[in-house]
Amino acid sequence: MELLEQVQRRAMKMIRGLEHLSYEDRLRELGLFSLKKRRLWGDLIAAFQYLKGAYKKSGEGLFTRACSDRTRGNGLKLKEGRFRLDIWKNFFTVRVVRHWNRLPREAVDAPSLEVLKAMLDGALGNLV
């Protein structure tokens, strides 16, 4: 567990009236996400911007689309790389691909960033 997550856990214990709840239940009660989920939320938003062309020069070749006509779910599936070292799992492109491929078609084809954010709130709200 990261240091920042520990600080957030400690701060959540100080809120009166929620002492009897677990950390996850306190987050749900306050309408907040854990730090891990917030990082994923930000990563998915950044991936959306890269894929929609917001960062044309710096994002060129960042993601590779999966070439398959049999895609279920969204039509913009990304290819997952295979690496031998554990260090790679912390890279942005590796962290995002699996979660991006699980998003529904409506989220991937969202016309704007605000629509995507609303859909991500709903999709990530089910996770703890």
Question: Which tens digits make up the pLDDT trace of 5-42?
Answer: 788 888 888 888 888 888 888 888 887 888 888 888 88
**Closest-CA residue to 47 (of 94, 114, 111):** 94
* Whether the Cβ atoms of residue 11 and residue 17 lie closer than 8 Å to each other: no
SS3 of residue 7 by DSSP: helix
Q: Are residues 37 and 97 in the same domain?
A: yes
Residue 79 confidence (pLDDT): 72
- Looking at the structure, do residues 17 and 68 belong to the same domain, yes or no? no
Same domain membership, residue 39 and residue 1: no
Instruction: For residues 61 and 90, state if they share a domain.
Output: yes
Are 20 and 41 in a shared domain?
no
Same-domain check for residues 61 and 97: yes
28 in the same domain as 4? yes
Domain that holds residue 26: 1-32
Which pLDDT belongs to residue 1?
55
d(CA 21, CA 108): 35
Strands in the chain per DSSP E = none
16 with 29: CB under 8 angstroms?
Answer: no
Is there a single domain that holds both residue 97 and residue 41? yes
On whether both 1 and 38 belong to a single domain, the answer is no
- Same structural domain for residues 37 and 73? yes
pLDDT tens digit string along 55-113? 666 555 677 776 666 656 676 777 766 655 555 566 777 788 888 888 888 888 888 88
The pLDDT score that the predictor gives to residue 71 is 54
- Reported as a pLDDT band with limits 50, 70 and 90, residue 128 is very low
Residue 2 has a pLDDT of 75
Indicate if 60 and 82 belong to the same structural domain: yes
pTM given for the model: 0.68
Give Cα separations from 117 to 42, 98, 99 (angstroms). Answer: 9, 18, 15
